[in-house]
Structure 1
């Protein structure tokens, strides 16, 4: 039963744990019954009933114990993560409605991260939920972020230092929202660590062109760098998704080169020094990202315009208007 419940990510898995415990109890009882020289056949029915009751009780007690222990000791249980993964939760609903570009980005980061985490034996569910919430701080000023802009870029009228401050601010604001929504510390880690202690390079370079003595600290995220494999995966996925999306070329070679560049840069910046990822795992993560992003940006055929005869044709009654679709 314990093994069946390991990293359970659905209620059915807790049911399987109960069944496993019941079957184990039944087998143990049957073995004892066989060794009893005074055994009675009618006892087998009671053994089966006891196994059934055991299975139900184990499932119910396991679910209850996970929830209770998680609440008492601040443990982020799989049940809690499954609850937080519901896209109808208020914070995620706000993200969909107020910052749809950020929401779409977060879904892609979650897909990238979850697959990569599974590849290296990290926690895929934790990574997926962390990716959903990592950018919730952008709700404070959605229009300051390129993925939500539909019109003039407000940064064009701001000083680089002010732009950098507003961009960096989304980490702190995200943590504030997470605290208010009582998100677990493990999820807040994704918000605080997904940019590590990196610089907002675009605005720093823009400022340095005007004043070489500009203070880099004013353009640096507060950090800390990723402290776990899971938060490191989301940091890498966040950057890779953004870089590939911004690129005008989406062939496999170009995507591979962009992803390799992100990984090399994070290593040079020493952002991955505290997360216990090995070079072998980084290669696996990189390969997973490449496969996912190449698939997401695969080339689509351009449909030819409808022929005049096709446009004038009247569908027969009861037939679909577009039978080819």
Structure 2
């Protein structure tokens, strides 16, 4: 199998593994979510006896009760009317016309029947022939008195609200008219005529306004709060006879066995949310510049999502506020760093939404736990401080949840209990994180920031051995660590890994410390007593010796890789040239380190920092130009020797590394300014 085929096979294999992990994660999350969102089903009919108390699995509207509430409110709505002020005016004008016409017809030389017909044709008020005959018999003073009386009375009567099609309003107006007539000083004949004309003149002055009435009804409909059946509220009590309303509520809640349509919608929603979570995770893996392989990153993250889902499903039985919301942000931050940890935790919000039945308050609490958990965990430098991080998250979440509950007018005791559960969940989350972290570190060989910080502690056994048995190498390693950290930070590599890797890169020198220049206190050099070939063997063996120590003390694989790669296949030039000068028949490869070459930014930076620091340290009272020249020379030699050919460093990165090295080394090695001796001047003074 050629090299290209091997690469293709590896890519296919890794892609297949990712697909398998994707499918397994989806199935597990789906099963957990299914038991959360799909409620227990009941096979019941009208007339059956409820075997148990049947409770609502979620909040939903009782549409029948809501409609009854609306109908009741609408039944109390009074119709809206518009008042026509011209009705009274028109009625008085009609009465005036009657009186004027009667006066006119009295003067006409025609028979009585014709006069009656003429009056009936000219006036708008309907009067009987007998009433008109009586009017024609009145003299002018009586007609004027009747006219004035009706004008005064109708102004009062028609000022009342008389609604159309409302007999009560008409009757009330007629009663008022009758009262005024009876209270008047008119004679009986005029009173009878006043009653006939007045009754005929009373007309509705209030007319139904359909638009305003409908607008009022719509406003009332909008104001009516729906009748909501709350989660865990009883729909039917044990022993109660099932009626049609019960069945409607159970159907609406989706808990009737014959009603599966709602289940399909819920399953579809769950599927979309879980797929969205995993797809977002895929994009995160593609864009994450992490020290772990994409497959490892993907597997670890999927396992974290599954563990979080299981814990959420289990703990919500006690209370939804007791779910270990800070577990994922704390653990993912410890493993991947704060940025990636926060993104993973926020992506998981979609799963939490499902598992908490879309409880908005819990979702707010979870998001706050993600932000706070990531923030406080990013500051953690010791494993024991993880619990302190959980404590801080718990205190702040306690206050936030308490405030939310108070603003929502939650019962005081319930608000307090919810807040206490939130506080406890943060503590429990941090305890779980402390317990689970070593398992992930061991199984996946994860080098977490907290593990790196622990390894950087000077009290670590290997670092103490290096300090006491090879003090020069220890000092050199610290300086290399400073250089590597500054350079890594400048180009966006893992600066903490670069620093810690530099601390351990030369631990192999512990075995034979005095064969290395930095540990030689006297002028005696052991290499003067052995052949160049043996010297090279001793020098290069510190790589193997370092690897053995790293494995013995169980240093992470990434640190072991740095130990193996920090010299690459560099030529041990001093002894190679010495062997040539002695006329030996030599092979160049025998004077090179075995490798491999650096394959990460951090190991490449440490290679350069190691060589540059040693070279600059060998200079005698170096100037600024000396340091710059030496840095350029060493890095160019590594480039020309192809030692960086397998590392992801770009030329732009290398230029930045040069600048950082020069800046740091100038602060360490360049010759101080010699201040003039002022003693003589003082004496002369």
Counterpart-to-counterpart distance in 1, 2:640 and 2:378: 34
Name whichever of 237-246 and 87-96 sits farther off: 87-96
TM-score by length of 2: 0.41
TM-score by length of 1: 0.83
Q: Summarize deviations over 1:190-247 as a string: whole Å, max 9, x none.
A: 1111100111011111112233742012101010000111111111110010010011
2:670 corresponds to 1:270: no
Q: Summarize deviations over 1:158-186 as a string: whole Å, max 9, x none.
A: 21111111111111111111111111111
Residues 1:13 and 1:238: Cα distance change in structure 2 (over 3 Å): farther
Residues 1:121 and 1:7: Cα distance change in structure 2 (over 3 Å): farther
Residues 1:136 and 1:26: Cα distance change in structure 2 (over 3 Å): same
Q: Tell me what 2:467 maps to.
A: 96
Counterpart-to-counterpart distance in 1, 2:412 and 2:525: 81
Q: Tell me what 1:320 maps to.
A: none
2:619 corresponds to 1:247: yes
Residues 1:190 and 1:234: Cα distance change in structure 2 (over 3 Å): same
Residues 1:260 and 1:148: Cα distance change in structure 2 (over 3 Å): same
Aligned length: 306
Q: Tell me what 1:64 maps to.
A: 435
Q: Tell me what 1:230 maps to.
A: 602
Q: Tell me what 1:211 maps to.
A: 583
Counterpart-to-counterpart distance in 1, 2:415 and 2:487: 48
Q: Tell me what 1:78 maps to.
A: 449
8 A Cα contact 1:21 1:58, kept in partner: no
8 A Cα contact 1:26 1:51, kept in partner: no
Q: Tell me what 1:55 maps to.
A: 426
Q: Summarize deviations over 1:12-54 as a string: whole Å, max 9, x none.
A: 57744764587568757865775x5x63355443343333323
Alignment RMSD: 2.8
Match of 1:128 among 499, 516, 527: 499
Matched position secondary structure for 1:79: helix
Q: Summarize deviations over 1:301-322 as a string: whole Å, max 9, x none.
A: 5588998xxxxxxxxxxxxxxx
8 A Cα contact 1:9 1:82, kept in partner: no
CA positional deviation for 1:67: 2.1
8 A Cα contact 1:66 1:79, kept in partner: no
Q: Tell me what 1:137 maps to.
A: 508
Residues 1:105 and 1:129: Cα distance change in structure 2 (over 3 Å): same
Which consecutive unaligned segments of at least 5 residues does structure 1 have? 308-325
Between Structure 1 and Structure 2, whose CA radius of gyration is higher?
2
Matched position secondary structure for 2:453: helix
